[in-house]
C-alpha cells in the first residue's frame, strides 16, 4: 500500500520557484519520525540497517534520506505493524489530521507548506506533535 509519493506533490500547482525535492519534505519528516521511534519496517531494520543508522546519526537531512532510501515513495513496507496502524489513522485516513498538524507546527512562517526547509530544525518542530498524536492514538487503541 502506498501512503504518499513525492511525485503526487511536485506536479500541478507546485510552486515553480522550488526544487521538486520540496514535494517530499512533509513525507520525509513523518517517515523519519516513524523510523526514529521504533516503527521501522524490516526493509529498514533488516535489509538496510546501515542506512537507518545514518539517519539515526543525523548524517543527512530527513528528506534527503527519504529520497535516497525510499525512491520518493512512502509505503507500508517502510513501517512495522504498529507503524502502519498509526499511519493509516493519522496520515492516510479520510479524517487524518497529519496535514493540519504539519501546517499548525510550521505554516505560519511559510509562503506554502512546500517552503518548509529540509532540516533537523524543521523535524524538531514536528517531533513533539507527532509524538503527542502517537500517544493519543495509543490511548484510544488501548
pLDDT tens by residue, 63-84: 999 999 999 999 999 999 999 9
0.85 exceeded by the pTM?
yes
Q: Find residue 94's DSSP bridge partners.
A: none
> According to the model, what pLDDT value does residue 142 have?
60
Q: How far apart are CA 70 and CA 36, in angstroms?
A: 15
For residue 112, the model assigns a pLDDT of 87
Domains of the chain, residue spans: 2-11+19-141
Amino acid at each position: 500500500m502506498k501512503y504518499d509519493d513525492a511525485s503526487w506533490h511536485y506536479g500541478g500547482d507546485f510552486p515553480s520557484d522550488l526544487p521538486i525535492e520540496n514535494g517530499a519534505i512533509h513525507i520525509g519528516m513523518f517517515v523519519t519520525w516513524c523510523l526514529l521511534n521504533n516503527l521501522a519496517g524490516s526493509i529498514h531494520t533488516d535489509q538496510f540497517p546501515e542506512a537507518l543508522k545514518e539517519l539515526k546519526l543525523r548524517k543527512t537531512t530527513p528528506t534527503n534520506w527519504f529520497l535516497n532510501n525510499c525512491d520518493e515513495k512512502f509505503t507500508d513496507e517502510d513501517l512495522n505493524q504498529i507503524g502502519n496502524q498509526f499511519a493509516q489513522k493519522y496520515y492516510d485516513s479520510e479524517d487524518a489530521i497529519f496535514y493540519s498538524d504539519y501546517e499548525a507546527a510550521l505554516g505560519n512562517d511559510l509562503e506554502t507548506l512546500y517552503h518548509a526547509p529540509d532540516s533537523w530544525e524543521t523535524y524538531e518542530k514536528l517531533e513533539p506533535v507527532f509524538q503527542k498524536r502517537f500517544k493519543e492514538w495509543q490511548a484510544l487503541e488501548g
